[in-house]
Amino acid sequence: MPELPLPKSIATVCLSGSLPDKLEAAASAGFQGVEIFEPDLLTHDGPPEGIRSMAADLGIAITLFQPFRDFEAVPEPQRRRNLDRAERKFDVMQALGTDLLLVCSNVQEAAIDDPARAAADLREMAERAAARGLRLGYEALAWGRHVNRWRQAWDIVKRADHPALGLILDSFHTLSLGDTLEGLAEEVPGDRILFVQLADAPRLSMDVLNWSRHFRNFPGQGELPVAEFTRAVLAAGYRGPLSLEVFNDGFRAAPARRIARDAHRSLIWLDSVLAAPSVPAAPLPPAPELGGVEFLEFAVDGPGGRDLSAFLSTLGFRKAGQHRSKAVELWRQGGVNLVLNAEPDSAAAGHFELHGPSVCATALRVDDAARAMSRAEALLCSTWRERVGEGERHIPAVRAPDGTLILLVEPGAAGRNIWESDFHLLPGDDRPGALEGVDHIAYALAEGQMDGFVLFHRAVFGLHPNPPMDLPDPQGLVRSRAMADPAGRVRMPLNVSESRQTATGRFVSAMAGAGVHHIAFSTPDAAGFLAGRGAPVLRIPDNYYEDLGARFGLADPVLEALERDHLLYDRDAAGGEFIHAYTVSFEDRFFFEIVERRGGYDGYGAANAGVRMAAQARARPWMPGGG
Amino acid sequence: MPELPLPKSIATVCLSGSLPDKLEAAASAGFQGVEIFEPDLLTHDGPPEGIRSMAADLGIAITLFQPFRDFEAVPEPQRRRNLDRAERKFDVMQALGTDLLLVCSNVQEAAIDDPARAAADLREMAERAAARGLRLGYEALAWGRHVNRWRQAWDIVKRADHPALGLILDSFHTLSLGDTLEGLAEEVPGDRILFVQLADAPRLSMDVLNWSRHFRNFPGQGELPVAEFTRAVLAAGYRGPLSLEVFNDGFRAAPARRIARDAHRSLIWLDSVLAAPSVPAAPLPPAPELGGVEFLEFAVDGPGGRDLSAFLSTLGFRKAGQHRSKAVELWRQGGVNLVLNAEPDSAAAGHFELHGPSVCATALRVDDAARAMSRAEALLCSTWRERVGEGERHIPAVRAPDGTLILLVEPGAAGRNIWESDFHLLPGDDRPGALEGVDHIAYALAEGQMDGFVLFHRAVFGLHPNPPMDLPDPQGLVRSRAMADPAGRVRMPLNVSESRQTATGRFVSAMAGAGVHHIAFSTPDAAGFLAGRGAPVLRIPDNYYEDLGARFGLADPVLEALERDHLLYDRDAAGGEFIHAYTVSFEDRFFFEIVERRGGYDGYGAANAGVRMAAQARARPWMPGGG
């Protein structure tokens, strides 16, 4: 079996900007090849030969020229015109220095439903291509007029029986129709598969043309079984490039370098997923096993983050430590550690300057920090080393797509733990009923960031994304997708809003970017935790509890207990329960949540999101000393 | 036949903000009633009685409470729980002071496919409602588990046979499935139709639930036959409210007052469309007959708009007049009049201050300006009267949704024409081959403005919208919808871009809002017009012409002639041709187009938009004296 991984390629249509911008972005992200999407060449002001030499200078191959549309099985005189058109495109290919043309199945009404005719036409085109040393790959478009399955395309290629004609497979065109590659290895010799294009997509119920043209994304960002697809083409013996062809409205509008890096990351991740007896594993270390959140770090601009420590006190947090060498405090309650970092000249100070008071780092407990760092680096992530004082522990860190750091902590490592090594710990007890840990960390993202975040956390940390859902803010919809590790120890709902007026949109505006919008703390008894504490809890209207009674048939005393503490309630189909309350926000920025899960409830109370968001739109931010 | 028009109502879900915000917006837009969408009440912090009195104070009725879901045809004990739930909602309705509840068809898997059982359940619910003086309207959801057509819902209502139970019809639920109301008048007595909800929508191929929840819009904004639907309910004898129920992501994120006014405008427009022998015409004057564009006015900040007049000179425009009393110049060529307004303290000066140099007014030739003004006022439009000097002509004006003015000029009116009355005209000839007139005016809109613009121009001026299409800018997709009057004398493509990096998005950023992005001038001979003129034409790459040859089989001399003048080419299925060129932009803002239409070509060269936008991304704005 030849060496794997296969060469990695990307179609220029995936990226924004001019054709030179696209080539440069693909090369700098580490791709070995690009497909030239014809409209990108047509709009380029310069000869194809210039693109050829530019690609050569960048060290990337032009793997394919695409697409050639509506060619086969048409009546004369269209047939002759199409062959003339092909000759002109062969000229362009020779100038570009690529030998492979993608011919996609005809979508025109005038196309004739006759595989023999299609085969004859393709054979003639292949004969002409061969005369110039070129090859053709025939691909079944999911919305082809008569040919939309790979098996039909293969049947036509077999009939045409020309050495310069082969098959091109595309994961979207196959998977979007619910088709699979079952039988491919038995029916198609590997060397007759000339090229493989990959795209993932969210599962959407819409016509496949629109779905394809606007909503494709990179493997790992969507919900299609792209890994199974790829495994099947490898099993058939295909050893050519794996090439991304993704039409996505958001990607077209985003910086090309960022999208190119996400694209390459998706293929590196895919390589690792493909590891199986039949396919040698790619050299990517396994994802870390996660043990929860060790601490969250806030960038602040004074001791105790000025008012932030007072805000934390209302929830029962207390100052539990002072850093040995830095203006950094540890605030703690039960299993929750919050670090308030006011150290000048630190990563936190840089974060504060850009974003104001906010979470600048999240520390995750991992089984092997060095291995996790290697994996992150192999996945093209930036890493960070903070300067440390003598005797202090160095914590390796990965930079997340929002610019915050994800610190990797091994709780079981030998030596003193991070708190003992770096902090003067202060004595003190936690009252009973205190918080157990961090239940989830919710991010607010700027538009166009969702797919990149999902891929990052899936690839680097092995978090699995839930299907997307919509949450109704009174000022617009918030699109939400939650991610979690298989054991549910690290949970991250990701939210994005088109409107800048929603709670999510306002936070992104205030932060000038994405960030941690709220942190949920887990407790075994939410009502007990809140009782008599006087925390600045978000006020939930009576009408909510009226409806809750009608929906769930809760007994009046239960309802009254919830209502007293402004607790929200949800119940899943299996009877699992979720009881939770929110604080008002700190400086109209982030806020906290108190969460009690019962009976295996695995969600985030999405049914209550509308009530919460409407209450937030009314509520004033917390004021020290105020209500 | 009772008096028409029918009362107008709107569901609170159409609007953004808190429930009090929504009521206030609906009342201020002139609605007579509101449907209370239950989640809006649940998230409201105050008792239902308060909403009742707020509505009373605002002078609007609460026409309906909705929705009550998943009620009918379920097994015990769910059936009993549902009846308990209904009793709780009856409490709420009585507190709200509304007597009508919308019960929509069950969508749950557990629902039983048994119309007799559904009827029995609804009968029991109706019996309980009647005991409190309440009524129920049963509506077939398009995605109801067993009941999704109005005829099925009517069959169940008939079987239930209870005076407190009737039918509710919704245009979206009927039309989205391709169903019609044929037979309604024969089968359903008018007084058994308790309520009618209206929504339009663009034609999208997606599952009907997503289509309904995100993409509905107001009548006249979409592509569904809402007028025919409404005509059928009127013919059946329905005389209750016409109520808008629109779920739209953009509307949820827009200011409630603007959307409420658009909503009311849509119903006023619908009234006028319904005028027919069977339905008395609503008192809306007919739309004007349009005779083209008389002039465009630019807000500028110095004589001749400083560099703008030099830019116009490159296209062959010359100064043709000076306003008698104001700092206003007329620039002219053939049938095109451009007014450069630098008058301090004018509407133009206010526009300049907000937006910089840009089109501040468009003058349309209308058959009857007074009638057109009455129509605009009846459609809730703002109007404007500019101060005029002695002997000058007053031009009535309507304010468009982008804040610019649309001036209404009667070319055939008695007395001196506008140019003679207001301007000192300068002598001078236009060279042959000059411009004939304004072919189209293209707007760039901010996100969320498309539906409002479409409704405004459709309702006030009778322009018809084409289906939307996507144009590929190198920095993202631009969504485009062209409008035109039936004779094609006034044409307005409307463009909107999610990305701020596209040409459209950059213009909207520079303008801090919507505006005229380009103006196309018509000529019978585009090549002749450009030949030797040295106009600052946008440079089109050679690769485009290579492909043009391949696509259309144009002869080489034809291609070469196009290429020489950077002319773009398109051909429609009937052989109509479009030959057009663009200028570079003025100050990275607006630009001009030269357009030649042959053989009835009716489009805008959308196939060339990608090439144009890529060229614009490369091109430098025009510089006086520069290339």
B436, containing H or E segment: none
**Residue scoring higher pLDDT (B390 or A102):** A102
Q: Average pLDDT, stretch A201-207?
A: 90
**Residue scoring higher pLDDT (A334 or B415):** A334
Contact assignment for A474 to B17 by CB distance below 8 Å = yes
Percent of chain B with pLDDT over 70: 96
Model confidence band, residue B381 (pLDDT cutoffs 50, 70, 90): very high
- pLDDT of A107 strictly over 90: yes
A107, containing H or E segment: none
Give the pLDDT confidence of B184-240 residue by residue, as tens digits. Answer: 999 999 999 999 999 999 998 888 998 999 999 999 999 999 999 999 999 999 999
Give CA–CA dist A521/A580, Å, rounded. Answer: 10
Residue A42's closest CA among B545, B567, B571, B503? B545
The minimum CA-CA distance between A466 and chain B, rounded to whole Å, is 18
A541, containing H or E segment: none
Residue B219's closest CA among B150, B170, B280? B170
Residue A383 pairs in a beta bridge with A398
Exposure class string for B485-494: b at 16+ Cβ within 10 A, else e: beeebbbbbb
Residue A67, preceding peptide bond in cis (omega within 30° of 0) = yes
What tokens does B421 get? 């009355």
Residue A291's closest CA among A409, A421, A460? A409
Interface predicted TM-score (ipTM) of this complex, two decimals? 0.87
User: Would you say B214 and A476 are in contact if contact means Cβ atoms under 8 Å apart?
Assistant: no
Q: Residue A2's pLDDT is what?
A: 43
Q: Average pLDDT, stretch B524-544?
A: 94
Strand, helix or coil for residue A562: helix
Which residue is associated with the tokens 């699979």?
A180
Give the pLDDT confidence of B107-147 residue by residue, as tens digits. Answer: 999 999 999 999 999 999 999 999 999 999 999 999 999 99
Q: Residue B429's pLDDT is what?
A: 66
Alpha helices in B133-207 (DSSP H): 150-160, 171-175, 184-187
Q: What does the longest C-alpha to C-alpha distance in chain A come to?
A: 91
B450, containing H or E segment: helix B450-461
Strand, helix or coil for residue A329: strand
C-alpha Rg value of chain A to the nearest Å: 28
Distance of CA B603 to the CA centre of its chain: 19
Give the pLDDT confidence of A257-283 residue by residue, as tens digits. Answer: 999 999 999 999 999 888 754 455 557
When scoring A246, A475, A479, A501 by the number of chain B Cβ atoms within 10 A, the one with the most, hence best to mutate, is A475
Residue A104 pairs in a beta bridge with A139
Give CA–CA dist A374/A153, Å, rounded. Answer: 42
User: Would you say B299 and B358 are in contact if contact means Cβ atoms under 8 Å apart?
Assistant: yes
Q: What is the mean pLDDT of chain B?
A: 93
Task: Enumerate domains of chain B plus CATH numbers.
Answer: 8-274 (3.20.20.150), 290-425 (3.10.180.10), 437-618 (3.10.180.10)
Q: Which amino acid belongs to residue A394?
A: H
Give CA–CA dist B127/B146, Å, rounded. Answer: 23
Which residue is associated with the tokens 């808190």?
B18
Q: List the single residue in A with minimal CA-CA distance to B84.
A: A550
Collect all residues of chain B within an 8 Å Cβ-Cβ radius of residue A553.
81, 84
Beta-carbon count within 10 A of B100 CB = 23
Give CA–CA dist A287/A371, Å, rounded. Answer: 8
Per DSSP, which regions of A402-436 are E strands?
405-409, 423-425
- The per-type count for chain A, helices as H runs and strands as E runs, is 22, 26
Spell out the SS3 assignment of B73-126: CCCCCHHHHHHHHHHHHHHHHHHHCCCEEEEECCCCCCCCCCHHHHHHHHHHHH
Q: Residue B1's pLDDT is what?
A: 38
Strand, helix or coil for residue A346: coil
Angle at CA of residue A118, ends A117 and A120, nearest 5°: 60
Residue A357, preceding peptide bond in cis (omega within 30° of 0) = no
Write the DSSP string, A468-485: PEEEEETTEEEEEEEEE-
CA B72, B73, B76, B77 torsion-angle sign:
negative
Contact assignment for A541 to B207 by CB distance below 8 Å = no
Give the pLDDT confidence of A464-516 residue by residue, as tens digits. Answer: 999 999 999 999 999 999 999 999 999 999 999 988 899 999 999 999 999 99
Exposure class string for A295-312: b at 16+ Cβ within 10 A, else e: bbbbbbbeebbebbbebb
Q: Residue B384's pLDDT is what?
A: 82
Residue B491 pairs in a beta bridge with B484
Contact assignment for A501 to B249 by CB distance below 8 Å = no
Residue A437's closest CA among A368, A371, A487? A487
Which residue is associated with the tokens 């496949």?
A208
- pLDDT of B540 strictly over 70: yes
Considering only CB atoms, B549 lies closest to which of A88, A498, A542, namely A88
User: Would you say B395 and B283 are in contact if contact means Cβ atoms under 8 Å apart?
Assistant: no
User: Would you say B191 and B222 are in contact if contact means Cβ atoms under 8 Å apart?
Assistant: no
Angle at CA of residue B307, ends B306 and B313, nearest 5°: 115
Q: Which amino acid belongs to residue B477?
A: L
Contact assignment for B16 to A84 by CB distance below 8 Å = no
Stretch among A129-133, A616-620, B298-302, B413-417 having the lowest mean pLDDT: B413-417
Give CA–CA dist B46/B96, Å, rounded. Answer: 12
Give the pLDDT confidence of A573-610 residue by residue, as tens digits. Answer: 999 999 999 999 998 899 999 999 999 999 999 999 99
Collect all residues of chain A within an 8 Å Cβ-Cβ radius of residue B502.
253
Q: List the single residue in B with minimal CA-CA distance to A69.
A: B551
Main-chain phi, psi angles of A103, to 5 degrees: -110, 115
| B440 marked as part of a ligand binding site | yes
Length reported for chain A: 627
Collect all residues of chain A within an 8 Å Cβ-Cβ radius of residue B253.
475-477, 498-499, 501-502
What tokens does B544 get? 């485009």
Contact assignment for B541 to A44 by CB distance below 8 Å = yes
Give CA–CA dist B612/B606, Å, rounded. Answer: 10
What tokens does A316 get? 């029962």
Collect all residues of chain A within an 8 Å Cβ-Cβ radius of residue B42.
541, 543-544, 546-547, 610-611
**Helix, strand and coil percent figures for chain B, each rounded to 5:** 35, 25, 40
Write the DSSP string, B544-607: HHHHHHHHH---HHHHHHHHHTT-EEEE-TTS-EEEEEEB--BTTS-EEEEEEEETT--S--GG
Contact assignment for A615 to B43 by CB distance below 8 Å = yes
- The per-type count for chain B, helices as H runs and strands as E runs, is 22, 26
- pLDDT of B413 strictly over 70: no
Pairing label, strands B290-299, A476-484: unpaired
Contact assignment for A476 to B252 by CB distance below 8 Å = yes
Give CA–CA dist A12/A18, Å, rounded. Answer: 9
Collect all residues of chain A within an 8 Å Cβ-Cβ radius of residue B249.
476-477, 498
Q: Residue B626's pLDDT is what?
A: 58
User: Would you say B60 and B27 are in contact if contact means Cβ atoms under 8 Å apart?
Assistant: yes
Give CA–CA dist A169/A176, Å, rounded. Answer: 13
Give CA–CA dist A45/A42, Å, rounded. Answer: 8
Give the pLDDT confidence of B439-471 residue by residue, as tens digits. Answer: 999 999 999 999 999 999 999 999 999 999 999
- pLDDT of A240 strictly over 80: yes
Contact assignment for B546 to A88 by CB distance below 8 Å = yes
Distance of CA B227 to the CA centre of its chain: 16
| B245 marked as part of a ligand binding site | yes
Q: Residue B278's pLDDT is what?
A: 47
